[in-house]
Structure 1
């Protein structure tokens, strides 16, 4: 540990790593969410009231995906933001709406599945489309309230070209760390514990119940796998490394430096790339329980495989 001067953290990695990730997520995410939302709206009555939450999940993804081209320009210009202070804050706000909106709607879907399996007699006929809409509005409201304080922290150097911080300037980093820890607790940890509790109980009931439909078991296990994937890859690393990086910035400001500062920064940037993948992975929820989509995808993959096979066979070997 060095208490006199701190090594400068290398910011070059961000400019090399994030733009390709953002471009890939933008293309895949728009195609997947657009196709998924189209299917959802075409089969609305068939799929049930829980799909109000899935619809909101898709809208949150598209809201964030539309900001990615501006971030790509920002990082290609070596972290030089040219779109103004207000739009920088809007861009970061859209990211937070997507991130915590996704977690919120995953929680709603999980609670709905829990009630439908563990307490079916209490839910049948009582949970309506209106309930789903009202709960969705409440989720958007809570996520907005939790994300709004972030808008009041400094994100740029006024309206001059420069940084567009995903957190804030080092001058306010101590306060931001406190806010971030509280935000992580209320918007991530509590919903995550609710999801774990719901699926822990659901798995217990499914394992004990011999009369429960096998298709229902498979659907629940599929959704559980998708949620484990999303939380393990996207959400958990991001929240741990975001707060760890903020803490290292606080220590650096106090001239308390560690050799791992640069490593934490790079790991945090990787986690930022991974967390934005949720906008491309969330459409997996459309696949969950929808055999029509799965069958159609298998058909498309089969057609693509046959086309590749035909192209790979020399003309002389093609049967007449």
Structure 2
């Protein structure tokens, strides 16, 4: 297909789609992570080895969520960045730290669960909180080194102010595609396979061991479902469509066009919204691993149901309104 017949890519889709998603993620993410981190810090003495990774997972989410309002302004203004080129790169760097840091800490949680369940006698007393802290530091270091090259790619087009590309401009897109594929392999594919291998082995081990506590089996299955949800909804679509979109830009630069370019671009923008949801969905790991939070959540939900039921009765005339108002206060 020649260049004149190339379909027009709908670049304005991101301006309509991303801002509402970012606002939702910002609100839900701050509330969920703030609540989860507060509970973890209040029970710091009770923290196990795995919860050190959970704590770092929450810190990675908070780091990214603090940059979301600037992205909301950017897309509301029609992709016009007013905060400077340096802060643009910092914002994108924080996104990469959150994304690959989250994947790294989820992988660490999976490995620890695997060792504790399948090889408990080998690791008993050998893995301490100090080890978890050291491993967490290594995860931060590796993710930072892995994401640092992204900051050296141009985030503007021909040095014109106003743009803040997620990747880079078209002049460097071929090199960036190679970098993105390498980061996808090391930062996503390998950790994903490790996570699947660990929990696959855990599930097989628990099913074969008749003496294993049923509660432990249920908790492991729930955590496996949470991780599958995170990877399937947030991580897999993003990496697939990001690299396909970069490939389409490479082909366009080579004057090779195809009808699927627009569809891939829109799918990539949707996957960008979905990958941000990891900051709001990661607290599911808190809820799974901390019974205190679960108990608090049940109490809050029960109180909310009672309040709404009393308000409904008051509105229907079955309960005096003043009494219902006193009970709500």
TM-score, normalization by structure 1: 0.97
**Cα distance change, pair 159–312 in 1 and its aligned pair in 2 (3 A):** farther
Q: Verify: 1:82 aligned to 2:93, yes or no.
A: no
1:174 corresponds to which residue? 174
Q: 1:141-188, CA deviations, whole angstroms, 9 ceiling, x for partnerless residues?
A: 110111011111000247753210000001111111111011100100
Moved over 4 A (4+): 157-160
For residues 158 and 53 of structure 1, the distance between their equivalents in structure 2, rounded to whole angstroms, comes to: 41
Correspondence list, 1:38-117, <5 A: 38-117=38-117
2:326 corresponds to which residue? none
1:187 corresponds to which residue? 187
Count of aligned pairs between the two proteins: 320
Q: 1:196-230, CA deviations, whole angstroms, 9 ceiling, x for partnerless residues?
A: 11011100100000111222112111110110000
Shift of 1:312: 2.0
**Cα distance change, pair 310–159 in 1 and its aligned pair in 2 (3 A):** farther
Shift of 1:45: 2.5
Q: Which runs of 5+ in 1 are unaligned?
A: none
1:146 corresponds to which residue? 146
TM-score, normalization by structure 2: 0.94
For residues 142 and 47 of structure 1, the distance between their equivalents in structure 2, rounded to whole angstroms, comes to: 24
Q: Verify: 1:199 aligned to 2:196, yes or no.
A: no
Q: 1:223-254, CA deviations, whole angstroms, 9 ceiling, x for partnerless residues?
A: 10110000010000000000000011111111
Shift of 1:318: 1.9
For residues 309 and 160 of structure 1, the distance between their equivalents in structure 2, rounded to whole angstroms, comes to: 57
Shift of 1:102: 0.2
Shift of 1:35: 0.7
Q: 1:56-112, CA deviations, whole angstroms, 9 ceiling, x for partnerless residues?
A: 100000000000000000001100001111000000000000000000000000000
- 3-state SS, counterpart of residue 50 of structure 1: helix
Does the CA-based 8 Å contact 2:2-2:256 persist in structure 1? yes
Does the CA-based 8 Å contact 1:88-1:156 persist in structure 2? no
Does the CA-based 8 Å contact 1:53-1:132 persist in structure 2? yes
Correspondence list, 1:119-158, <5 A: 119-157=119-157
For residues 157 and 115 of structure 1, the distance between their equivalents in structure 2, rounded to whole angstroms, comes to: 49
Correspondence list, 1:197-236, <5 A: 197-236=197-236
2:20 corresponds to which residue? 20
